[in-house]
């Protein structure tokens, strides 16, 4: 009798129970939706992060654009401003402002050496033409004291308050009543000439002069005495 070969083992099949689904089929069928949900969540999170980064980096530009009506914010340019208006940005006055003789204007002069702010005044003298010599600029603080200088253009006030008769305006010290004549020049001990000779009173010297020059229609202060 020929020898019998070993028969392959056959795994017993799981008995089918009515109403109960196959666990492997259920696991396989439920795994695919889980993978799809996970991929969708990853894509959604990545898109949200990218949107937040773009929004954060673009927020300042968007804000600036909305505030300026969609255009880039304007940057002031002194040269462009000067070209458009015809007035030097460093001007203390304009020729038109002081067109009439004896017109005046107060201003603050920034000393380029000390950077101190000096209260000052400029007066249009009754000189013909328009040139630097037609104006007188000076500090409104008396030399060597803190008295204030006042430009008195009312001749009646000069006569009644300061008991001085004049046919043109004068500069007066409010402390001791010293009168300075804008039309007269005085000689300093070093030999230099300055405007505003003392007409009456105990002042030590004429007001401290501020040098100016004309730049088109602009009057620019250069330096103080």
pLDDT at position 206 is 96
Query: Is the pTM above the cut of 0.75?
Result: no
For the chain, how far is it from start to end, CA to CA, in angstroms? 142
Superfamily of domain 80-224: Rieske [2Fe-2S] iron-sulphur domain (2.102.10.10)
| 29 or 130, greater pLDDT | 130
Domain ranges across the chain: 22-73, 80-224
pLDDT at position 127 is 85
C-alpha span between 32 and 23 (Å, rounded): 15
pLDDT digits (tens, 9 = 90+) for 114-172: 889 999 999 999 988 778 999 999 999 998 888 999 999 999 999 999 999 999 999 99
Q: Under a CB-based contact definition with an 8 Å cutoff, are residues 54 and 62 in contact?
A: no
220: left (phi over 0), alpha (psi -120 to 50) or beta: beta
| 89 or 159, greater pLDDT | 159
pLDDT at position 125 is 97
Band of pLDDT at residue 55, cut at 50, 70 and 90: low
């Amino acid at each position: 009798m020929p020898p019998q070969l070993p028969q392959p083992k056959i795994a017993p099949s799981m008995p089918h129970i009515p109403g109960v689904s196959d666990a492997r089929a259920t696991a396989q069928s439920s795994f695919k939706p889980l993978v799809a949900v996970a991929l969708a969540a990853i894509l959604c999170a990545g898109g949200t992060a990218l949107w937040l980064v773009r929004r954060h980096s673009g927020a300042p530009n968007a804000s600036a654009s909305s505030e300026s009506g969609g255009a880039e914010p304007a940057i002031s340019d002194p040269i462009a401003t000067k070209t458009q208006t015809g007035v030097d940005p460093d001007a203390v006055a304009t020729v038109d402002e002081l067109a009439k003789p004896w017109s005046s204007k107060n201003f603050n002069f920034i000393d380029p050496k000390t950077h101190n702010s000096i209260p000052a005044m400029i007066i249009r003298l009754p000189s013909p033409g328009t040139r630097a010599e037609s104006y007188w600029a000076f500090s409104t603080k008396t030399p060597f004291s803190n008295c204030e200088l006042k430009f008195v253009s009312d001749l009646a006030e000069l006569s009644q308050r300061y008991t001085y008769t004049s046919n043109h305006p004068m500069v007066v010290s409010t402390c001791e009543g010293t009168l300075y004549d804008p039309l007269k020049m005085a000689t300093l001990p070093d030999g230099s000439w300055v405007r505003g000779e003392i007409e009456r009173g105990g002042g030590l010297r004429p007001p401290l002069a501020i040098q100016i020059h004309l730049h088109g229609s602009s009057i620019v202060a250069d330096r103080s005495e």
